[in-house]
């Protein structure tokens, strides 16, 4: 069977109301992660359906928005490896159970193991997830452009690591229920899981905007900007799954045609960020965060437009150090391959969980999700991972260290891109065996 990557591209922003009911439900879901181990051998966290040429992998942790842990990453890699070795299997559907595709990483489980001094488990988490992402975006060299055709059904919340395990694949179907974001800067982290690669390849400087602000996109916007390859109403998903499950070929043109049969013609809302792309490029095309903010302030003063004003507020509520390292990460990603981005992001993620440079996101998880006292007491002795992809819906008043852009030194930023120690090994990826498509 032929497994050639299909390449149609397009992106979006979510403007749904963040009502208190949704936020409180999301908060309860994230809080419940604290009792979940980072490494768990329960195979039912990823269910498998299908036969013949098609398989469906189902992320099955609906109570925690299908958050990823190390075991899920390892099971996905094991499953995909076995399917890749089977010449009769060519199509894999990936979906989430419940109201989320995948909200990202299991942040409180990471918090718990690292607070207990087991930073090695945190490293294993990133190592495992990043390796699966690399596998998803590559093909085995001996087969010369052969790969599994993944169709990710992005129904519901798709954030951070959830985007990481879907966007490198062949097809991404967004729906009217899709909510996409990479909100890591809002919790003192950086967009990772391959985000510096795919965000940097979006039109203009949209990737910088999404990385720095953590803004949300809906399914229509994802399609219009390149993160999704197809858009269908959520009510059609059962029909799509049935159609794909009945295919006896993995020819991408046949899969493309099947998805197009269920597609819906839609246009971004008038308030969508895609209609502000000219202003966005003018502001986010600058070399530094300070220049970007200056440009936004000038635009807001001149035009009094809502977009510039709201974007400024988002940036000023965000971790200053995260803003600077994330901008540099996206800019470097423009000139790097997928494997180079993942290796660099691995270094950055270990710095983030080590607490050596800052404890921004570390103490925030304790205050907001663990003790829930909403009183962050920033202390560099805390070692904690705040690896969340949904918290931008909750956290609005975090305090940061350093508290301002002026206090973020070049040395701090450089250190964030360096190994935690001189002896710390870099992420190892099977680059001699596999080849990235882009």
Catalytic residue positions, numbered: 105, 161, 184, 192
Mark residue 175 as left, alpha or beta (left: phi above 0; alpha: psi -120 to 50; beta: remaining). Answer: beta
CB atoms within 10 A of CB 279: 18
d(CA 109, CA 38): 5
CA distances from 308 to 180, 273, 284 (A): 21, 11, 11
Sign of CA dihedral 7, 162, 340, 200: positive
Answer for the pair 142, 183: CB distance below 8 angstroms, yes or no.
no
Alpha carbon distance, N-terminus to C-terminus of the chain: 22
Residue 35, both tokens: 């009792």
Tokens 């120690």: give the residue: 421
Contacts of 243 (CB under 8 A, 6+ apart): 258, 261, 262
With b for 16 or more beta-carbon neighbours within 10 A and e for fewer, the 244-265 pattern comes to bbebeebbbeebbebbeebeee
With CA atoms as reference, report the closest residue to 60 among 326, 5, 143, 49: 49
CB of 231 closer than 8 Å to CB of 263:
yes
Distance CA 239, CA 26 (A): 29
Three-class DSSP category at 46: strand
Nearest to 181 by CA among 134, 222, 151: 222
Tokens for 268?
């971004």
**DSSP states of 220-271 as a string?**
HHHHHHTS-SEE--GGGHHHHHHHHHH-----HHHHHHHHHHT-------TT
């Amino acid at each position: 069977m032929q497994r050639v990557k299909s390449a149609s591209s397009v992106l979006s922003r979510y403007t749904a109301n963040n009502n208190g009911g949704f936020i409180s439900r999301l908060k309860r879901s994230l809080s419940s992660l604290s009792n979940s181990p980072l490494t768990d051998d329960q195979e039912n966290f990823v269910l498998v359906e299908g036969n013949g040429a098609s398989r469906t992998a189902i992320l099955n942790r609906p109570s925690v928005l299908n958050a990823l842990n190390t075991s899920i990453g390892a099971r996905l890699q094991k499953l995909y490896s076995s399917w890749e070795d089977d010449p009769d299997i060519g199509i894999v559907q990936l979906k989430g159970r419940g109201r989320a595709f995948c909200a990202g990483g299991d942040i409180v489980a990471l918090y718990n193991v690292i607070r207990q001094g087991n930073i090695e488990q945190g490293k294993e988490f990133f190592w495992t997830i990043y390796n699966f992402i690399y596998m998803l975006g590559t093909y085995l060299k001996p087969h010369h452009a052969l790969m599994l055709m993944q169709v990710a059904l992005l129904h519901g919340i798709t954030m951070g690591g959830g985007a990481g395990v879907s966007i490198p694949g062949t097809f991404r179907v967004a729906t009217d229920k899709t909510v996409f974001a990479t909100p890591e800067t809002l919790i003192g982290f950086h967009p990772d899981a391959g985000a510096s690669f795919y965000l940097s390849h979006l039109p203009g400087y949209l990737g910088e905007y999404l990385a720095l602000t953590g803004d949300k996109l809906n399914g229509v916007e994802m399609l219009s900007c390149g993160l999704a390859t197809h858009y269908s109403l959520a009510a059609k998903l059962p029909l799509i799954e049935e159609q794909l499950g009945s295919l006896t070929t993995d020819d991408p043109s046949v899969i493309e045609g099947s998805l197009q049969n269920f597609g819906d013609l839609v246009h971004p809302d008038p308030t969508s960020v895609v209609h502000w792309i000219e202003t966005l490029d003018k502001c986010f095309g600058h070399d530094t965060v300070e220049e970007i903010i200056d440009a936004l302030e000038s635009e807001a003063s001149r035009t009094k437009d809502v977009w510039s004003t709201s974007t400024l507020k988002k940036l000023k509520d965000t971790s200053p150090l995260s803003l600077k390292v994330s901008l540099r990460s996206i800019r470097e990603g423009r000139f790097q391959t997928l494997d180079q981005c993942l290796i660099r992001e691995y270094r950055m993620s270990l710095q983030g969980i080590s607490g050596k440079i800052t404890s921004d996101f570390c103490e925030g998880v304790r205050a907001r999700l663990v003790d829930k006292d909403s009183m962050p007491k920033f202390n560099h002795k805390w070692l904690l991972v705040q690896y969340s992809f949904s918290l931008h819906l909750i956290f609005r008043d975090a305090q940061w260290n350093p508290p301002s852009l002026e206090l973020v030194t070049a040395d701090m930023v450089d250190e964030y891109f360096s190994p935690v120690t001189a002896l710390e090994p870099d992420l190892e990826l099977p680059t001699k065996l596999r080849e990235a498509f882009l």
